[in-house]
Protein backbone atom coordinates (compact mmCIF):
# COMPACT_ATOMS: atom_id res chain seq x y z
CA UNK A 1 0.00 0.00 0.00
CA UNK A 2 1.29 3.47 -0.88
CA UNK A 3 0.42 6.66 1.02
CA UNK A 4 1.41 10.26 0.43
CA UNK A 5 1.61 12.61 3.37
CA UNK A 6 2.85 16.13 3.85
CA UNK A 7 4.84 16.63 7.01
CA UNK A 8 7.97 16.08 9.05
CA UNK A 9 9.34 12.55 8.67
CA UNK A 10 10.88 12.64 12.16
CA UNK A 11 7.41 12.52 13.72
CA UNK A 12 6.27 9.29 12.03
CA UNK A 13 5.72 6.17 14.12
CA UNK A 14 6.60 3.71 11.38
CA UNK A 15 8.98 0.77 11.40
CA UNK A 16 11.59 2.66 9.37
CA UNK A 17 12.18 6.15 8.12
CA UNK A 18 14.65 6.72 5.33
CA UNK A 19 17.34 9.34 5.68
CA UNK A 20 18.71 11.20 2.65
CA UNK A 21 22.23 11.01 4.00
CA UNK A 22 25.69 11.58 2.59
CA UNK A 23 28.44 9.03 2.17
CA UNK A 24 30.13 9.79 5.50
CA UNK A 25 26.80 9.20 7.31
CA UNK A 26 27.56 11.53 10.22
CA UNK A 27 24.78 14.05 9.70
CA UNK A 28 24.33 17.14 7.62
CA UNK A 29 21.61 19.60 6.65
CA UNK A 30 18.07 19.08 5.38
CA UNK A 31 16.23 15.94 6.42
CA UNK A 32 19.52 14.37 7.56
CA UNK A 33 20.05 17.15 10.11
CA UNK A 34 16.44 16.91 11.28
CA UNK A 35 16.68 13.13 11.76
CA UNK A 36 19.96 13.32 13.68
CA UNK A 37 18.59 16.10 15.87
CA UNK A 38 15.40 14.21 16.69
CA UNK A 39 17.09 10.82 17.19
CA UNK A 40 19.73 12.22 19.54
CA UNK A 41 23.46 11.64 19.90
CA UNK A 42 23.10 7.87 19.95
CA UNK A 43 22.32 7.96 16.24
CA UNK A 44 25.62 9.69 15.56
CA UNK A 45 27.41 7.05 17.67
CA UNK A 46 25.65 4.23 15.79
CA UNK A 47 26.58 5.76 12.45
CA UNK A 48 30.22 6.05 13.55
CA UNK A 49 30.19 2.28 14.08
CA UNK A 50 29.08 1.58 10.50
CA UNK A 51 32.29 0.39 8.85
CA UNK A 52 33.86 2.55 6.18
CA UNK A 53 34.08 0.83 2.81
CA UNK A 54 36.82 3.28 1.90
CA UNK A 55 38.13 6.34 3.71
CA UNK A 56 35.25 8.73 4.40
CA UNK A 57 32.62 6.44 2.83
CA UNK A 58 30.27 4.42 5.03
CA UNK A 59 27.50 4.27 2.46
CA UNK A 60 28.29 4.62 -1.24
CA UNK A 61 25.78 6.46 -3.43
CA UNK A 62 22.77 4.26 -4.18
CA UNK A 63 23.36 1.89 -1.24
CA UNK A 64 21.65 1.80 2.16
CA UNK A 65 22.59 1.13 5.78
CA UNK A 66 20.36 0.61 8.82
CA UNK A 67 20.58 1.84 12.42
CA UNK A 68 18.11 1.96 15.28
CA UNK A 69 15.89 5.04 15.52
CA UNK A 70 16.83 5.83 19.16
CA UNK A 71 14.68 8.79 20.31
CA UNK A 72 12.62 8.79 17.13
CA UNK A 73 9.17 7.21 17.08
CA UNK A 74 10.46 5.08 14.18
CA UNK A 75 12.21 1.82 15.12
CA UNK A 76 14.88 2.12 12.46
CA UNK A 77 16.58 4.70 10.30
CA UNK A 78 17.61 3.50 6.87
CA UNK A 79 20.34 5.77 5.59
CA UNK A 80 20.68 5.99 1.85
CA UNK A 81 22.75 8.32 -0.29
CA UNK A 82 21.11 9.82 -3.32
CA UNK A 83 23.06 11.08 -6.32
CA UNK A 84 24.10 14.70 -6.67
CA UNK A 85 22.23 15.84 -9.79
CA UNK A 86 24.34 17.12 -12.67
CA UNK A 87 22.37 16.75 -15.89
CA UNK A 88 20.71 13.35 -15.61
CA UNK A 89 23.30 11.84 -17.95
CA UNK A 90 25.75 10.71 -15.30
CA UNK A 91 23.94 7.71 -13.89
CA UNK A 92 21.71 9.77 -11.60
CA UNK A 93 18.43 7.97 -12.46
CA UNK A 94 19.97 4.53 -11.87
CA UNK A 95 21.55 5.62 -8.58
CA UNK A 96 18.32 7.17 -7.34
CA UNK A 97 16.37 4.04 -8.28
CA UNK A 98 18.94 1.95 -6.40
CA UNK A 99 18.36 4.07 -3.26
CA UNK A 100 14.67 3.12 -3.25
CA UNK A 101 15.28 -0.54 -4.08
CA UNK A 102 18.06 -1.02 -1.54
CA UNK A 103 16.16 0.80 1.21
CA UNK A 104 13.06 -1.33 0.63
CA UNK A 105 15.09 -4.53 0.58
CA UNK A 106 16.87 -3.61 3.81
CA UNK A 107 13.53 -2.79 5.41
CA UNK A 108 12.13 -6.18 4.39
CA UNK A 109 15.23 -7.96 5.67
CA UNK A 110 14.66 -6.30 9.04
CA UNK A 111 11.00 -7.24 9.25
CA UNK A 112 9.66 -3.74 8.62
CA UNK A 113 6.05 -3.50 7.57
CA UNK A 114 5.98 0.26 7.22
CA UNK A 115 8.55 2.63 5.79
CA UNK A 116 8.54 6.35 5.05
CA UNK A 117 10.70 8.04 2.42
CA UNK A 118 11.60 11.69 2.05
CA UNK A 119 12.10 13.04 -1.48
CA UNK A 120 15.66 11.76 -1.75
CA UNK A 121 18.17 13.98 -3.61
CA UNK A 122 15.62 16.71 -4.35
CA UNK A 123 16.93 19.23 -1.81
CA UNK A 124 20.60 20.07 -1.48
CA UNK A 125 21.49 17.46 -4.14
CA UNK A 126 19.34 19.26 -6.73
CA UNK A 127 17.45 16.41 -8.42
CA UNK A 128 14.41 17.76 -10.34
CA UNK A 129 11.38 16.93 -8.22
CA UNK A 130 9.10 15.51 -10.90
CA UNK A 131 11.77 13.22 -12.34
CA UNK A 132 12.77 12.03 -8.90
CA UNK A 133 9.15 11.33 -7.93
CA UNK A 134 8.60 9.29 -11.10
CA UNK A 135 11.57 7.10 -10.23
CA UNK A 136 10.45 6.75 -6.60
CA UNK A 137 6.92 5.72 -7.54
CA UNK A 138 8.11 3.31 -10.24
CA UNK A 139 10.54 1.57 -7.90
CA UNK A 140 8.08 1.28 -5.03
CA UNK A 141 5.40 -0.13 -7.33
CA UNK A 142 7.88 -2.64 -8.71
CA UNK A 143 8.98 -3.67 -5.23
CA UNK A 144 5.46 -4.08 -3.91
CA UNK A 145 4.29 -6.04 -6.92
CA UNK A 146 7.26 -8.40 -6.51
CA UNK A 147 7.22 -8.35 -2.73
CA UNK A 148 6.54 -12.04 -2.26
CA UNK A 149 9.69 -13.25 -4.01
CA UNK A 150 11.72 -10.29 -2.72
CA UNK A 151 10.75 -10.94 0.87
CA UNK A 152 11.18 -14.66 0.32
CA UNK A 153 14.74 -14.11 -0.82
CA UNK A 154 15.61 -11.50 1.74
CA UNK A 155 14.23 -12.99 4.93
CA UNK A 156 14.80 -16.44 6.34
CA UNK A 157 11.56 -18.44 6.27
CA UNK A 158 9.59 -18.16 9.46
CA UNK A 159 9.32 -21.38 11.47
CA UNK A 160 6.00 -23.21 11.36
CA UNK A 161 3.39 -21.72 13.66
CA UNK A 162 2.39 -23.49 16.84
CA UNK A 163 -0.58 -25.14 15.19
CA UNK A 164 1.82 -26.67 12.69
CA UNK A 165 0.50 -24.70 9.73
CA UNK A 166 3.04 -23.05 7.49
CA UNK A 167 3.24 -19.31 8.16
CA UNK A 168 1.25 -17.23 5.73
CA UNK A 169 2.68 -14.66 3.34
CA UNK A 170 3.89 -11.56 5.22
CA UNK A 171 1.52 -8.61 4.91
CA UNK A 172 2.34 -6.10 2.20
CA UNK A 173 4.58 -3.31 3.32
CA UNK A 174 3.09 0.14 3.79
CA UNK A 175 5.19 2.69 1.94
CA UNK A 176 4.75 6.37 2.76
CA UNK A 177 6.07 9.20 0.66
CA UNK A 178 6.60 11.89 3.29
CA UNK A 179 6.81 15.22 1.51
CA UNK A 180 7.96 18.26 3.43
CA UNK A 181 6.01 20.66 1.23
CA UNK A 182 2.52 20.58 -0.18
CA UNK A 183 3.99 21.18 -3.61
CA UNK A 184 6.05 18.00 -3.34
CA UNK A 185 3.01 16.07 -2.12
CA UNK A 186 1.07 17.26 -5.16
CA UNK A 187 3.78 15.97 -7.47
CA UNK A 188 3.30 12.50 -5.96
CA UNK A 189 -0.49 12.79 -5.98
CA UNK A 190 -0.41 13.49 -9.69
CA UNK A 191 1.55 10.27 -10.21
CA UNK A 192 -0.47 8.02 -7.93
CA UNK A 193 -4.02 9.26 -8.50
Residue 56: CB minimum distance to ligand AR6, A: 13
- Say what the alpha-carbon torsion angle 66, 98, 93, 185 is, to the nearest 10 degrees: -50
Question: Contact with ligand AR6 (CB under 6 A): which of 124, 144, 191, 192?
Answer: 124
- Asked whether position 22 contacts ligand AR6 by CB under 6 A, the answer is yes
Compute the distance between CA of residue 139 and CA of residue 141 in angstroms, rounded to an integer.
5
Confirm whether 32 is a catalytic residue: yes
- If DSSP codes are grouped into helix, strand and coil, which group holds residue 164? coil
Residue 178: CB minimum distance to ligand AR6, A: 5
Residue 90: CB minimum distance to ligand AR6, A: 16
- If DSSP codes are grouped into helix, strand and coil, which group holds residue 65? strand
Compute the distance between CA of residue 56 and CA of residue 23 in angstroms, rounded to an integer.
7
Element housing 116 (H / E): strand 114-117
Judged by CB under 6 A, which stretch of 29-37, 69-77, 105-113, 159-167 contacts ligand AR6? Answer: 29-37
- Asked whether position 176 contacts ligand AR6 by CB under 6 A, the answer is no
H-helix segments, the chain: 30-39, 41-49, 92-109, 129-145, 147-154, 182-192
Judged by CB under 6 A, which stretch of 4-12, 39-47, 58-66, 67-75 contacts ligand AR6? Answer: 4-12
Q: Considering the candidates 8, 15, 32, 87, report the single residue annotated as catalytic.
A: 32
- Asked whether position 185 contacts ligand AR6 by CB under 6 A, the answer is no
What's the sign of the alpha-carbon dihedral 191, 83, 100, 123? negative
Question: Contact with ligand AR6 (CB under 6 A): which of 123, 133, 135, 147?
Answer: 123
Query: 122 and 184 in contact (C-beta within 8 Å)?
Result: yes
33 versus 160: smaller Cβ distance to ligand AR6: 33
List of residues contacting ligand AR6 (CB under 6 A):
8-10, 20-22, 28-32, 34, 82, 118-125, 178, 180, 184
Mind telling me the catalytic residues? 32
Amino acid sequence: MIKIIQGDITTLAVDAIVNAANQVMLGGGGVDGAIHYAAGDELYEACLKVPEVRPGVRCPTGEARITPGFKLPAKFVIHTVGPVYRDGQHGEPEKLAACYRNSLTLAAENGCQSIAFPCISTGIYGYPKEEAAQIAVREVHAFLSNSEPQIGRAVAPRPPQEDGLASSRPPEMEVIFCCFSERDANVYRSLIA
